[in-house]
Amino acid sequence: MEIRTTGYGHPDAQKLAAEVQQEYVRRYGDVDVTVLHPDHFDPPAGHFVVAYLDGAPVACGGWRAKEPNDFGLVEGDAELKRMYVAPAARGRGLARAVLRHLEQSAEAAGRSRLVLESGTEQPEALALYASEGYHHISGFGVYRDAPECVCMAKWLEVQDS
């Protein structure tokens, strides 16, 4: 597997983002309406990657800096978005590898915590995040009041420059 920084606007990233939206339709009945723009993932305030197996794009994910808000976000937060592994590539540790890559890049960029919105219909994702040290927090995003919404966070070890 090769993880490449592509940006969110890259055709491979957009292909996988479209696939994850269809996954949300299957699991929740609709797409994720969270507003995302390619520039949200531009360094230094963001990072987006695509993972490749034998040259084919099979997984993706990114983070974007978030501002403190009244729903529990704090200075230094970055939000994980569009974590996805294509069905044919699942069970190989790709999601964990992408997640750890994103954590390292967020740390290197000086972010102190990663936050995410997931949901009850994604038990595999919730298990992955819990196994990597993420804990439940109060809702903070578009779906904060939805009964299926599960928000999690993990404090990072920010690297001294």
Q: Which residues contact 135 (CB under 8 A, 6 or more apart)?
A: 152, 153, 154
User: What distance in Å separates the CA atoms of residue 125 and residue 160, rounded to the nearest whole number?
Assistant: 30
Residue type, 147: P
CATH architecture of 2-155: 3-Layer(aba) Sandwich (3.40)
Question: Which pTM value belongs to this model?
Answer: 0.95
How far CA 78 is from CA of 69, 88, 156, in Å, comes to 13, 29, 10
- Taking only the tens of pLDDT, the chain with its 161 residues reads 999 999 999 999 999 999 999 999 999 999 999 999 999 999 999 999 999 999 999 999 999 999 999 999 999 999 999 999 999 999 999 999 999 999 999 999 999 999 999 999 999 999 999 999 999 999 999 999 999 999 999 999 865 55
User: What distance in Å separates the CA atoms of residue 161 and residue 156, rounded to the nearest whole number?
Assistant: 15
